Every structure is written in structure tokens, then in C-alpha cells.
Amino acid sequence: MDRQEKIVSMFDEIAPTYDKANRVMSMGVDRSWRRKGCDKAFGFYNKPELDLIVDVACGTGDMMDYWRQRAAVKNISVKKILGVDPSEGMVGVGRQKFPDFDFAISKATELPVEANTADMLSISYGIRNVVEREEALREFNRVLKPGGMVVILEFMKNEHPSILGMIRDFYMTKVLPKIGGFISKNKEAYEYLPNSIEGFLTVEGMRGELEAAGFEPLFIQSFSMDISTLIIAKKA
């Protein structure tokens, strides 16, 4: 089993308790981060009608629901929202939660979407788990329309941590694995999280990879003691 398959298998195992663990560990503040990502992207795109929004690494479908809710608030018509994830366990939970949504089982590097057809593409706390990340970013560029938006929410590596950043790192490495492990009965999966952040990119590293894949970063902001970072970029 290669590294990507191991990550997918891990998410299959924790799928039944994933939503509960997420809410407890983030104390619910991820909701505001997701809302802001949708609102900012709609603002930059500034169109009343969209053909397609693709949510990659969609998990159990939460971000898809935020796209739907925020589009309704802003009176934006969206013809289709598609969730794509390689984990059958996660998508299975998503289909139960949102039976009216469209889901597909697929890797981030092989999206079942025609070129130049998506208005928006989001990936929330998932790009860190994509082993062939640069290939995935090129794939995101392929499916987006010219001027389309990619929205990334992620836990980024702290290159120069502040005092608040050190508190964040303590929470992520010492507290979070215990909470997630207790809820899911899979401590190993939640020890993976802080390790994967430490091995991931800084914000500037992510910006560079996006630019190399043909995107123009428009908005970058970190939230809640730099726990989470929102990046919005436009297909050039």
C-alpha cells in the first residue's frame, strides 16, 4: 500500500466519527472560516449564475453545504455542486447527510470533470493529504474556467512561530491527538494531523506552487492564532 492509499484508508476508518471529532477539536470555529472562504470567492468572481462548483477532498460534504447556503444568501444561482473524494467511507457518510448532493469517488489528480467547466473549486483541509500536490494543482487549473477561483483552507506550517503560534502548535501536537483519538478510538489517525502539518508547506510555499500551476493569488489570510489559512486564487 503506497502513502496515498494509507491516507485514504485512514479516513475510511475514522469516517463514522469524523464530523463529531472535527466540531469538538475546532470548537466550531471552522464554520466561520468556511463561510468566509465562500463569501470572498463569490465576491471576487462577481457573477449571479454559476454552472459548477467542485469541492475536492469533500469528505462528508460540509463545504458543499456551505457553498449552497452562501449562494442562497447572496442570491447566486448554482446549477451543480459536485463533491469529489477518494475515501468511500467519507463519501458514504456524506451521501447519508446530503442525499440530494452529487458525489464522486476520485483522486484530486484525476477529477471526473471536463476542462474549463468549473466556476469554483474548493479544497478544505485536504490539500495537505494529497501526495502528488503539484499535479493536483495543475488538475484544478485544467477543470476551472478562465478566471475561475480555487479556494484553499488549510493548516499551514509555521515558519516563524509567534507566541500564539507556539500555543497553537502545543494544542495541535499534544491536545488535539488525545481528543480526536478518544472520540474516534483511533489515536494514530489524529497523531497524523500535527505530523502532516509540520511536514507541509508554509503560506509562501503554497503561494509559489499555485503560481507555478497557473494561478494568481488574490487573497491570503490566517485565522484564529494562525491555526487555519484561507487562500483564494484565480486561474490566469
For the chain, which residues make up each domain, given as ranges?
3-157+202-235
From the annotation, which residues make up the binding site?
60, 85, 124
pTM over 0.85: yes
Q: Are strands 215-223 and 144-154 parallel, antiparallel or unpaired?
A: unpaired
> CA-CA distances (angstroms) from residue 71 to 40, 51, 82, 194?
12, 12, 15, 33
Question: Under DSSP, is residue 119 helix (H, G, I), strand (E, B) or coil?
Answer: strand
Distance (Å, rounded) from C-alpha 124 to C-alpha 151? 8
Tens digit of each residue's pLDDT (9 = 90 or more) over 72-123: 999 999 999 999 999 999 999 999 999 999 999 999 999 999 999 999 999 9
Name the more confident of 173 and 224: 173
From the annotation, which residues make up the binding site for S-adenosyl-L-methionine?
60, 85, 124
Tens digit of each residue's pLDDT (9 = 90 or more) over 155-198: 776 666 667 666 767 766 767 667 766 666 777 766 666 666 66
Handedness of CA 32, 34, 37, 40 (dihedral sign): negative
In the prediction, which pLDDT does 117 show? 98
Tens digit of each residue's pLDDT (9 = 90 or more) over 126-166: 898 899 999 999 999 999 999 999 999 987 766 666 676 66
In the prediction, which pLDDT does 6 show? 84
In the prediction, which pLDDT does 39 show? 98
For residue 177, give the nearest of 61, 4, 25, 59 by alpha carbon: 25
How is residue 66 written as a grid cell?
A: 456551505
Name the more confident of 15 and 140: 140
Name the more confident of 229 and 73: 73
In the prediction, which pLDDT does 27 show? 59
In the prediction, which pLDDT does 4 show? 87
CATH architecture of the domain 3-157+202-235 equals 3-Layer(aba) Sandwich (3.40)
